[in-house]
Amino acid sequence: MRLTALDEVSERLGLKRGQGLAEARAMFPKIDVMDEDGEADQVLLEAIADWCDRYTPLVALDGREGLLLDITGCVHLFGGEEALLRDILKRLFHMGFDVKGAISSSPGLSWAACRFGRGGVIDDETMKEVLAPLPVNALRIDDAMTVSLHKLGLKRVGDLFPMPRAPLARRFGTQLLLRLDQALGANEEAISPRRPIAALSAERRLAEPIQAEEHILQLTGQIATSLRPGLESRGIGGRVFELVLFRIDGRVFRIAAGASQPLRDPERISSLFSERLNAAHDDLDAGFGFELLRLNVLQHDTFGTAQGDFIGDGESEIALADFVDRVSARLGADCLQFAELRQSHMPERARVFVPAMTAGSAQKKGDEDLAFAPRSDRPLRLFHHPEPIDAFAATVPDGPPQRFRWRRIVHRVVRAEGPERISPEWWIDPKEAEERDYFRLESDAGRRFWIFREGHYDGKTAPSWRVHGIFA
């Protein structure tokens, strides 16, 4: 067992990370330790990352104890780099966290200044001056390379500046020079945000926190109104919206709502979150209130504008879309299903059920999904899995049965139509898949079935029969 983290008192006593617990107890018998909980630490770090979204949407996790924020274009909103960094550190300090931060044009330099330096705002002119006195492991190199550099007397980053690059590359590889160039800003390094970037976003910072649901919905409508000019200028409408609520104690709530059609109307957008707030009422703890509300457009689609006819203005279509949006927001996107066609000859693959929220996108595909038109009508009810039946007195080789037993009931056939032969799809089905001959049968009781024979009569084994659907 080894030490993985230390407080300030332990560091002043001379304990080190990675030191054995038995050795630490021998030095200081009264040392207090607790087991590490990596999952809880990760949850806490992600919660802090959510809180940092108030400064920039480009937030990335950096290991187990760090965050990287790309604040390009966001600094002027907080009064400059010094003010932004001071605000972050002050707020986190009042939340009970002892953190260190640095701002520079290089992620590598900010990483090094936070962990091995004093942090702060670093200008481009002083990058070398700040990086030179730091240890070589501040370049984010592995322990083996660090030990090799120490053996050569290269203990500080500044010791590498006068060294020729070619011998360093031959001895230590290109990784050392890459890390050095990244820290000095000579080689750009991009960060990977933990969340997708919204196409459009608008927010409202409040002088006094709010708690009531009606106040949240009212502000949501106001924020949606400020989003409308941006949507109109791009000719789009929002399909998936996200309402982000920043609680005053640092906790962040994210509520997503989708629409079956592209939306711009602030009232309809606000109504979506009215249903979502009702569904998530028990999980949404306002606490002492929310101080910041943000509305993001996560997905969008082309907004089709069409002139209304002389009879009506399309209120029925709007009412249906509004019903789908409200029910899906309250009960979930999968509560209403829509049958969407697929390009497949096999009946069970020719259609799939998708959430009704995507019905608008499916209809815009035009005839792309209708490339295959069956030669006969399909049953109203199609089974997901064809059910086996016992067929009797079937005409050999391609005729329908005279009687068949399904679900312990014998049906006598009075009318038959077929066969309709459907071959397996060789690019999907296995080689042993056999052809199907489908028949439309009507029983003496007036019931109509859609059955098929899988395979052909070969004189050795009889083919299997299955019922795939019911017409009436």
pLDDT band at 367 (very low <50, low <70, confident <90, very high): very low
Structural contact between residues 356 and 328, judged by C-beta atoms closer than 8 angstroms:
yes
In sequence order, which residues have a C-beta less than 8 Å from that of residue 221 and are 6 or more positions away?
Answer: 266, 267, 269, 270
In this prediction, residue 378 carries a pLDDT of 83
**Residue of 338, 322, 228 lying closest to 272 (CA atoms):** 322
Is residue 429's pLDDT more than 50?
yes
Mean pLDDT (whole number) for 94-101: 91
pLDDT band at 133 (very low <50, low <70, confident <90, very high): very high
- Mark residue 67 as left, alpha or beta (left: phi above 0; alpha: psi -120 to 50; beta: remaining): beta
pLDDT band at 280 (very low <50, low <70, confident <90, very high): low
- 326/128: higher pLDDT: 128
Mean pLDDT (the chain, rounded):
87
In this prediction, residue 107 carries a pLDDT of 93
In this prediction, residue 310 carries a pLDDT of 56
As a whole number of angstroms, the distance between CA 441 and CA 374 comes to 18
% of the chain with per-residue pLDDT over 70: 92
Burial of 131 (C-beta count, 10 Å sphere; 0-12/13-18/19+)? buried
**Residue of 182, 176, 179, 138 lying closest to 156 (CA atoms):** 138
Mean pLDDT (whole number) for 330-348: 80
pLDDT band at 377 (very low <50, low <70, confident <90, very high): confident
pLDDT band at 345 (very low <50, low <70, confident <90, very high): confident
As a whole number of angstroms, the distance between CA 472 and CA 379 comes to 8
Structural contact between residues 379 and 447, judged by C-beta atoms closer than 8 angstroms:
no
pLDDT band at 369 (very low <50, low <70, confident <90, very high): very low
Query: What ranges make up the beta strands (E) of 211-278?
Result: 236-247, 252-263
Report pLDDT digits (tens) over 170-226: 999 899 999 999 999 888 888 889 988 898 999 999 989 998 888 999 999 999 999
Q: Which of 100-114, 176-190, 359-373 has the lowest mean pLDDT?
A: 359-373
In this prediction, residue 305 carries a pLDDT of 66
% of the chain with per-residue pLDDT over 90: 49
As a whole number of angstroms, the distance between CA 469 and CA 449 comes to 6
Measuring CA to CA, how many Å separate 210 from each of 214, 216, 468?
10, 7, 57
pLDDT band at 328 (very low <50, low <70, confident <90, very high): confident
State both tokens at 117. Answer: 């330096």
Report pLDDT digits (tens) over 55-70: 999 999 998 889 999 9
As a whole number of angstroms, the distance between CA 399 and CA 441 comes to 12
Structural contact between residues 393 and 402, judged by C-beta atoms closer than 8 angstroms:
yes
Is residue 317's pLDDT more than 60?
no
End-to-end CA distance of the chain: 71
In this prediction, residue 145 carries a pLDDT of 93
| DSSP alpha helix (H) spans, 79-132 | 81-94, 107-116, 127-131
pLDDT band at 284 (very low <50, low <70, confident <90, very high): confident
